[in-house]
Structure 1
Amino acid sequence: MWAVPAIAVDMNVSGVVHVVDGDTIDVGRTRVRLFGIDAPEADQTCVGADAAVLPCGAWVTAQVRAIYQGEHANCVRVDTDRYGRTVARCDVAGNDIGQTLVARGLAFSYPRYSRDYIDLEASARRAAVGVHAYEILRPADYRATRRVGSKVNRGAGHQTVVSDCLLKGNINAMGARIFHAPGQRDYSRTKINPAKGERWFCTAAQARAAGWRAARR
């Protein structure tokens, strides 16, 4: 009797879907990061044509949950990511989940890892479906803005956050999110406190897509 190699067992995962977020699902007892796509982060915002800031990340998660929660998925493992999650291609009823999400504008292609969904994303963008109807950062760029300002200089009894990006995303006492550019009146006295959710931005487009508006002076 032949023994089944362990890798052959590990390559396939199937089970009932529980949606964690736009690109992460539990399949049975296995946490799966969908291969080749990148969905907006759960706390990510977008900006509408009327400049309204909308919770697009939470909306995407809700949409993916409405489509796939409780369905039965079959997945083929591609890799394991740094968080220990199984990275896999998954399908429900023979339809590729990643393909469906990108086509509906609920996720972006992730060219860093796969070029399979680039054309689908371009079509969704032209049709302005899903999040493409709004101004939104690619999720990888959004995550980068959250990392900016993480370097801290310590000395002389104080610490100062520094950044290679120059726009200061401040949250004022009223909760308004305002970004300041070098040369504006309040730029030099504006301090960034990441613990409050404040951050640095590299471009005005990044700041607006994350939910900040430009300072008026």
Structure 2
Amino acid sequence: MQYKIAMTRLLAALFLVLSSPAMAQTIEGRASVIDGDTIEISGERIRLNGVDAPESWQRCVADGKEYRCGKDAAFALDDWLAAARPTRCEFVERDRYGRMVGDCFRADGSSVGEWLARSGWAVDWVRYSGGEFADAQNEARRNGRGIWRGAFELPCEARARRARRKASC
């Protein structure tokens, strides 16, 4: 009898581990770009882990002129993802908005977060990345790519300013 109870408990624990979001949730498919750091696959919104891209409404300055850097980041991401479909995302956690936060990769294995930082369309969000994309960001900065070709406000600071609250980045 004790053997059956022990086996039942073991199977229940194994089921919980294997059915947890971290173990079970990998999503793959054609990605639709929502903004520079958020995509959607099969109806699931996915916030890209460890990077922070300009908001769609955000403007930056390059060559003395304002431009819609948030829109440019989203368009660049869309073009890059379209070159090697499908996109695969591995679950990291759920954010406060209920979105899946994930590490995402193109069909050729390229990291979406690393590409965004290296191309200059997002910054390494050390709070969540642990500095994983720092080298890629530094390369973009040195070469004046994306938002690094001029002046910009960090996306987390722009969101805070717009919401009239203190930035938490």
TM-score class, shorter = 0.7 to 0.9
State the partner residue of 1:109.
124
Deviations 1:59-114 (A, max 9, x none): 11111111114821111111100110000001012111111111011111101111
- Paired position in structure 2 for 1:39: 53
Highest RCO, 1 vs 2 (Cα 8 Å, sep ≥ 6): 2
Map 1:1-217; keep pairs closer than 5 Å: 5-7=18-20, 10-50=24-64, 52-69=65-82, 71-92=85-106, 93-114=108-129, 115-148=131-164
The size of the alignment, in residue pairs, is 148
TM-score (norm 1): 0.63
Per-residue Cα deviation, 1:155-209 (whole angstroms, up to 9, x for no partner): xxxxxxxxx9xxxxxxxxxxxxxxxxxxxxxxxxxxxxxxxxxxxxxxxxxxxxx
Counterpart in the other structure of 1:191: none
The aligned amino acid for 1:125 is R
Q: Comparing both structures, which one devotes a greater share of its residues to helix?
A: 2
Q: 1:29 to 1:9 in 2, by over 3 A?
A: farther
Unaligned runs of 5+ in 1: 151-163, 165-217
Runs ≥4 in structure 1, deviation > 6 angstroms? none
Structure with the higher fraction of residues in strand conformation: 1
CA distance in 2, matches of 1:103, 1:73: 18
- Identity over aligned pairs, percent: 32
Q: How far off its partner does 1:55 sit?
A: 1.0
Partner SS state of residue 32, structure 1: strand
CA distance in 1, matches of 2:154, 2:24: 32
Distance 2:87 2:66 in 1: 34
Partner of 1:175: none
> Which 5+ residue runs of structure 2 have no aligned equivalent?
1-10
Q: Displacement, 1:131?
A: 1.2
Deviation at 1:147, TM superposition (A): 1.9
- Structure with the greater alpha carbon radius of gyration: 1
